[in-house]
Structure 1
């Protein structure tokens, strides 16, 4: 495995690379994460079963897209490779600042500027990708309410149904979400897609984002996700709103958009996320009845 990584990296760098130090990093994902070094250069390695090669390829494409379309520091994917049993991504290593005075206002500004680019006319993406370990369909749609209700909420509910978890009437829930978003008229923005505290940081003071699940959609999806597992500092939201104010009714849409991530966590982890997702669906339907 590691001989293949070293040889692949040597080929990509066009100079010999020998792994002299390897550290496994703690994480909450299904992947195994490592920091490798030859004593002079460090790299980040994500290792998964060979069956996950497509997911790692999608990650590499999404990182490149964010690099092209935003001001964020985004780690470069140096290469994607395989062995007989494993697939792996080798990424640029970024040292993250552990500083309470990090420029969260700049983070909010960079996100707003990325969201303000409305060059794509439809919702979706060039290819399907993944949200965590879950397949994420991105077929192009002209209407946001159709895309999000069917390819996000309906998709996750169907995956749960196939696992034996029936949280609600799927068709009724899809129609409810479609109706709730029907009059919310927006232009597509490039989204990070999985924007929570664990996927942002600062490198030498520059805002960084990584582990994306990109597609073109309502920019409020990214803002909502930042609040699901503990909000970012207030400076982030103040700066974002100064550049791109949220539309009326965002608070209700925040709950709808975060339902997608709760359903995804229910699909991956089950447990209390199943209860949380069902309670959210029931609460939304009562509120909007």
Structure 2
């Protein structure tokens, strides 16, 4: 496999690359992570099964889009590829600051600036991609409430139902989602899509993000995600609100927007996330 990786890198950078050092890194999911270098060029290699190539290619698309449409430092995608057994993505190696940096203000400002661009008239994306390892459908919709209710909540409920897990009558929750979002005025923004602390950092104090699940939607989705698992420092939210204030009643919509990643965790990990999802749904419908 590593011969294939070396060959793909060589073709991508138009130089003969043969790694002289390789080490495996800790990973929070099923992908295997490696650092690869020839002493001059340094790369992060993410390795998955061959069947996962489409997921890695969608990550590459998201990274390039973020690089073109934001002020974040985005790792360059060098190449994606596969051999008979494995798929891989080769990324620029970024040495992130070891300690959380004090400039969370800049992270908030950078996200607000990206969200402030409204270049799309509809909600969705040109291709389906992935939230973690789950397919994320992105069919274009004119109405945000319909997109989110069907392409996000409805889809996750369908995946759970296929596993024999049913928290609620799907149409009831889908209709309740549409009802709660129907009057909310939204202009499509480019979203990171998986905006939580584990997918961001600082490179010499410059905000950087990675592992995207991009699409065009309500900017509040990124903010709600950031508050769910490990809320960011208050400087982030203060700066974001200074540059692009949130709409009234965001706190009510936050519950709806946090349900999607909770359902996704329930689909991937089961366990206590099933209980959390059930309780979250009950709160929304009460």
TM over 0.5: same fold? yes
Please state whether the residue corresponding to 2:96 is helix, strand or coil.
Answer: coil
Q: Distance in 2 between matches of 1:169 and 1:28?
A: 33
Deviation at 1:103, TM superposition (A): 1.0
Deviation at 1:69, TM superposition (A): 0.4
Deviation at 1:255, TM superposition (A): 1.1
CA, structure 1 residues 184+96, in 2 after alignment: closer, same or farther (shift >3 Å)? same
Q: Distance in 2 between matches of 1:9 and 1:230?
A: 35
Q: How far does the alpha carbon of each residue in 1:53-84 deviate from its partner, in whole angstroms, 9 at most, with x for none?
A: 11111000010000000000001110011110
The match for 2:243 is: 243
Q: Which runs of 5+ in 1 are unaligned?
A: none
The match for 2:118 is: 118
Do 1:152 and 1:260's aligned partners in 2 also have CA atoms closer than 8 Å? yes
Deviation at 1:99, TM superposition (A): 2.8
Q: Distance in 2 between matches of 1:213 and 1:66?
A: 10
Q: Distance in 2 between matches of 1:267 and 1:33?
A: 23
Q: Distance in 2 between matches of 1:142 and 1:11?
A: 41
CA, structure 1 residues 126+100, in 2 after alignment: closer, same or farther (shift >3 Å)? closer
Q: Distance in 2 between matches of 1:65 and 1:188?
A: 15
Do 1:102 and 1:202's aligned partners in 2 also have CA atoms closer than 8 Å? no
Q: Distance in 1 between matches of 2:213 and 2:162?
A: 23
Runs in 1 of length 4+ with deviation above 3 angstroms?
A: none
Q: Distance in 2 between matches of 1:102 and 1:28?
A: 25
Please state whether the residue corresponding to 2:123 is helix, strand or coil.
Answer: coil
Do 2:101 and 2:205's aligned partners in 1 also have CA atoms closer than 8 Å? no
The match for 2:8 is: 8
The match for 1:164 is: 164
Q: Distance in 2 between matches of 1:194 and 1:100?
A: 19
The match for 2:137 is: 137
The match for 1:26 is: 26
Do 2:123 and 2:188's aligned partners in 1 also have CA atoms closer than 8 Å? yes
Please state whether the residue corresponding to 2:187 is helix, strand or coil.
Answer: coil
Q: How far does the alpha carbon of each residue in 1:120-152 deviate from its partner, in whole angstroms, 9 at most, with x for none?
A: 000000111111110000000000000000110
Q: How far does the alpha carbon of each residue in 1:130-188 deviate from its partner, in whole angstroms, 9 at most, with x for none?
A: 11110000000000000000110000001000011111110100000110101101100
Q: Distance in 2 between matches of 1:83 and 1:100?
A: 38
| TM-score computed with the length of structure 1 as normaliser | 0.98
Deviation at 1:205, TM superposition (A): 1.3
The match for 1:231 is: 231
1:44-123 superposed matches below 5 A: 44-123=44-123
1:210-225 superposed matches below 5 A: 210-225=210-225
Q: Distance in 1 between matches of 2:252 and 2:28?
A: 29
CA, structure 1 residues 159+97, in 2 after alignment: closer, same or farther (shift >3 Å)? same
Q: Distance in 1 between matches of 2:40 and 2:167?
A: 52
Number of residue equivalences:
286
Please state whether the residue corresponding to 2:190 is helix, strand or coil.
Answer: strand
Deviation at 1:244, TM superposition (A): 0.4
Q: Distance in 2 between matches of 1:76 and 1:92?
A: 5
CA RMSD of aligned residues (A): 0.8
Q: Distance in 2 between matches of 1:98 and 1:107?
A: 16
